[in-house]
Amino acid sequence: MPELPETETIARDLDRLVSGGEVRGCTILRPDVLRRVNAASIGTKLIGRRIERTWRRAKIVVLDLNDGQRILVQPRFTGSMRVIRDCDSPTLPHECVRLALADGRALLYCDIRRLGTFSVVSEGQFSDIDSTLGIEPLDPAFTGARLSGILRSSGRFVKVVLMDQRRIAGCGNIYACEALWRAGIDPSRRADLLSGDDAQALRDALVGVLSASIEARGTTFRDFRDARGERGQFAASLEAYGRGGQPCRRCGHRMIETHAIDGRATHFCYRCQE
């Protein structure tokens, strides 16, 4: 599932590739991915609009249009965005939405399982969505003290708090496991019992692993592709996620995989994560 590094990679690619591009056509092949807009009206909303910039909020790719509207794409499990050279080229497998650009290229939203969403929203609608999301972990305001305050306000497992998008935006299962391993913190510890030093270590670990993954253009196990259709390279650098049953790279003890913490696969070392 694309998390912060993957959606950040897509957003940076699109900002470079399509900023300034004008939408001249809109084809909806799978209307079930649409939200807050329908197939009958989406062309009216988008055709003739210019893409001003592309950026990321939480796990959402945001395309700002010149009239104040925004396209929001939430890839979820298998969604991706691609730029192709010819807007009249044959439909790609799993293609859901095609935006033809004035320069002859096309911006595509593809989704194998069609669990992601493609929305068109007004400024007010976007503000409502934005208000439900927590602080960005790459924001300079995300300090150890800020994270400590977030953790102290919850008696849930620390891993669950890290993944709560209302508190910290963009962190998902992969990078929660990685950050907790780097910080040496058991994912099942109560968040409100972590010390200020624990919070600082976890903040540094989370920012470090997210930044490193962005540098490697994200993590691909099977489906994730960037806007160029290429795989992310960070999977080879994972220290915890996906390593259940293998030796811990810090202490050599056998890594644990469990679904008991939050229903997802959690990977950790019970010897050196306390």
The question of whether 123 is a catalytic residue gets the answer no
The question of whether 3 is a catalytic residue gets the answer yes
Catalytic residue among 105, 250, 264, 271: 264
Catalytic residue among 49, 59, 217, 243: 59
Catalytic residue among 3, 8, 136, 178: 3
The question of whether 5 is a catalytic residue gets the answer no
For residue 184, the one-letter residue type is G
The question of whether 187 is a catalytic residue gets the answer no
Catalytic residue among 2, 5, 75, 137: 2
Q: What residues act catalytically?
A: 2-3, 59, 264
